[in-house]
């Protein structure tokens, strides 16, 4: 299962209810922090997570509400004896911004950090891959997709009709290899099936553009900013953000299974329904997320 912990769900100004943007994605020993707004460290503690377990930080862009928590987090990691290499990925300019950051603060200790400016597929393991795509937000800004690769699984019903014992035979079938047991040959393709990939898309901070839909196509989970309601469409356009209705339009046209709305302005703290209704009118399977909510997929 991929676990997604929403550490911060506000737009640029934090409210009493919401911290600025940060999401932690946990899967197979990886703890990938997506953006790190101010206050993320305390949210990590409130979620009872250990910051030293973070393996990578993905930065969407360098507006303060997405990165102000980075210097504090790096200081904590260094002081806590973080002994791995921390990988930091971001859009063009990220290396310079990180240099500026190290020139601004006096860090007593430093961890080993590797910084990459990314576009396209930049990380792939046996279990997942991550891709970045340039968005339109006035400054370099990336959206990301995380794809958990589907595995070959044993069809238990079909297996029960055979006399194959568990253990090495099943392992070989899962590798796509045929096996012979007591003189009888069993074909992998008859006893296994391929589980679907699971795709999680992260779109925060962008105006509507025509690269989003192909990039997030067929997401199991589309996590999108929804800074404005549709009556403030002009404002959204001016500040290069999405309205909830536009986010829902993207979900619908890209055939997402589920839409999660985040990056919520404090102007809706007392009227969240306005944002949610806006989205639901276009895409029924829309949900508003709150700080410290957890989703598993
Ligand atoms: Zn933002
Ligand atoms: Zn922004």
- Kindly compute the dihedral angle of the four CA atoms of residues 67, 279, 135, 72, in this order, to the nearest 10 degrees: 10
- Kindly compute the dihedral angle of the four CA atoms of residues 216, 222, 92, 35, in this order, to the nearest 10 degrees: -170
> What residues does 148 pair with on adjacent strands?
128, 198
CA 265 to chain centre: 20
The pLDDT score that the predictor gives to residue 3 is 98
Cα-to-centroid distance, 145 and ligand 1 (Å)? 18
Cα-to-centroid distance, 205 and ligand 1 (Å)? 6
Cα-to-centroid distance, 137 and ligand 1 (Å)? 10
Ligand nearest to the CA of 135: 2
Cα-to-centroid distance, 116 and ligand 1 (Å)? 21
Ligand nearest to the CA of 239: 2
Distance CA 119, CA 210 (A): 17
> What residues does 88 pair with on adjacent strands?
57, 115
The pLDDT score that the predictor gives to residue 263 is 97
Cα-to-centroid distance, 33 and ligand 1 (Å)? 16
Specify the DSSP class assigned to residue 196: P
Ligand nearest to the CA of 226: 1
Distance CA 63, CA 235 (A): 18
Cα-to-centroid distance, 245 and ligand 1 (Å)? 18
Ligand nearest to the CA of 225: 1
The pLDDT score that the predictor gives to residue 167 is 85
Cα-to-centroid distance, 108 and ligand 2 (Å)? 30
Ligand nearest to the CA of 12: 1
This prediction's pTM? 0.92
Cα-to-centroid distance, 220 and ligand 1 (Å)? 23
Nearest-5° angle of CA 127, CA 128, CA 130? 165
The pLDDT score that the predictor gives to residue 137 is 98
Q: Among 218, 216, 296, which Cα is nearest to 27's?
A: 296
**pLDDT by 10-residue block (mean), the chain, 297 residues:** 97 94 97 98 97 98 98 95 96 97 88 96 96 98 97 91 88 90 91 94 96 98 97 96 98 98 94 96 98 97
The pLDDT score that the predictor gives to residue 212 is 98
The pLDDT score that the predictor gives to residue 41 is 97
> What residues does 19 pair with on adjacent strands?
none
Which active-site residues does the annotation give? 65
User: How far is residue 119 from each of residues 37, 45, 131, measured CA to CA in Å?
Assistant: 22, 31, 7
Cα-to-centroid distance, 61 and ligand 2 (Å)? 7
């Amino acid at each position: 299962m991929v676990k997604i912990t929403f550490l911060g769900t506000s737009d640029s100004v934090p409210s009493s209810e919401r911290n600025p943007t940060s999401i932690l994605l946990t899967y197979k020993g990886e703890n990938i922090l997506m953006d790190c707004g101010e206050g993320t460290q305390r949210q990590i503690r409130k979620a009872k997570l250990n910051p030293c377990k973070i393996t990578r930080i993905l930065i969407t862009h360098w507006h303060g509400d997405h990165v102000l928590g980075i210097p504090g987090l790096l200081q904590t990691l260094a002081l806590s004896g973080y002994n791995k290499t921390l990988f930091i990925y971001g859009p063009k300019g990220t290396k310079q911004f990180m240099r500026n950051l190290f020139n601004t603060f006096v860090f007593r200790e430093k961890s080993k950090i590797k910084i990459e400016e990314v576009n396209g597929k930049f990380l792939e393991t046996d279990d997942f891959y991550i891709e970045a795509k340039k968005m339109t937000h006035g400054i370099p800004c990336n959206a990301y997709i995380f794809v958990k690769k589907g595995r070959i699984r044993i069809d238990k019903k079909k297996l029960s009709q055979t006399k194959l014992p568990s253990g090495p035979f099943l392992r070989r079938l899962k590798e796509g290899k045929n096996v012979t047991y007591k003189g009888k040959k069993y074909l992998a393709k008859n006893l296994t099936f391929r589980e679907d990939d699971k795709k999680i898309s992260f779109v925060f901070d962008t105006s509507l553009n025509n690269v989003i839909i192909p990039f997030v196509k067929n997401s199991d989970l589309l996590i999108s900013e929804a800074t404005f309601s549709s009556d403030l469409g002009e404002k959204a356009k001016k500040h290069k953000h999405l309205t909830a209705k536009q986010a829902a339009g993207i979900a619908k046209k890209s055939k997402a299974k589920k839409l999660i709305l985040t990056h919520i302005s404090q102007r809706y703290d007392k009227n969240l329904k306005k944002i949610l209704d806006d989205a639901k009118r276009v895409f029924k399977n829309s949900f508003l997320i709150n700080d410290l909510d957890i989703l598993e997929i």
